[in-house]
Amino acid sequence: MNNLKLIFTAILFLALTCACSNDDVIKGEIAARKLVYAFTDTPGSVSNSETMTVSSSEQEFSLSVKSLMETGFQIPDKLFLSVSEWDNEKNDWKPVLSGNTTEVSGSFFRVYTESADGKAIIKVSLDANTSSTDRRICIFAESSPVGSYIPYGEINIIQESASEI
């Protein structure tokens, strides 16, 4: 999972730096990513992502930053996404790459960001799970650098199998 996070960080850093205008020049060096954003009432930790389990039905729901796990940061007004899909056959995460870092679609999901009242919202759409196995995605959301840190949040969404109804 650490290699996957490193790949996502590199992709998002390139997207952030390539998408900058002259007014958005990053001053100084980026020292590290920092786990800052919590999307649920039970935040994860550096070694354990937040987890949310949903039913097998077709659905759409929203996630927003509910709390900050570190001081010195603010609720973001924009988030950049990376999403991985769990591969049951390989028993490992499979990155779903997209040229647009504010919207990612996969075999059964669509994840995108919006802004409302100056706060970033992550929208998640899931197709119905008619299979006999749970499906999982991992959403990794970063904002623009704050000082020398890139604040982020990470959440695993588990969609129950049809047999669990």
**Residues in the chain, total:** 165
What pLDDT is attached to residue 45? 62
- The residues facing 151 across adjacent strands are 34
pLDDT (mean) for 29-37: 84
Helix (H, G, I), strand (E, B) or coil at 58: coil
Helix (H) or strand (E) holding 9: helix 2-18
Higher-scoring residue by pLDDT: 126, 70: 126
pLDDT of 3 higher than 80: no
61 within 8 A of 124, measured Cβ to Cβ: yes
Report pLDDT digits (tens) over 68-94: 998 999 999 999 999 999 998 999 999
Structure tokens belonging to residue 110: 């669509």
pTM: 0.79
pLDDT of 100 higher than 60: no
119 within 8 A of 75, measured Cβ to Cβ: yes
64 within 8 A of 122, measured Cβ to Cβ: yes
pLDDT band with cut points at 50, 70 and 90 for residue 28? low
pLDDT of 142 higher than 70: yes
List all residues 6 or more positions away from 96 whose beta carbon is below 8 Å from its beta carbon.
Answer: 83, 84, 85, 104, 105, 106
What pLDDT is attached to residue 80? 93
pLDDT of 1 higher than 70: no
Helix (H, G, I), strand (E, B) or coil at 101: coil
What pLDDT is attached to residue 24? 47
Name the burial class of residue 159, with classes exposed (0-12), middle (13-18) and buried (19+) by CB atoms within 10 angstroms of its CB: buried
Q: What does the radius of gyration of the chain's CA atoms come to, in whole angstroms? A: 16
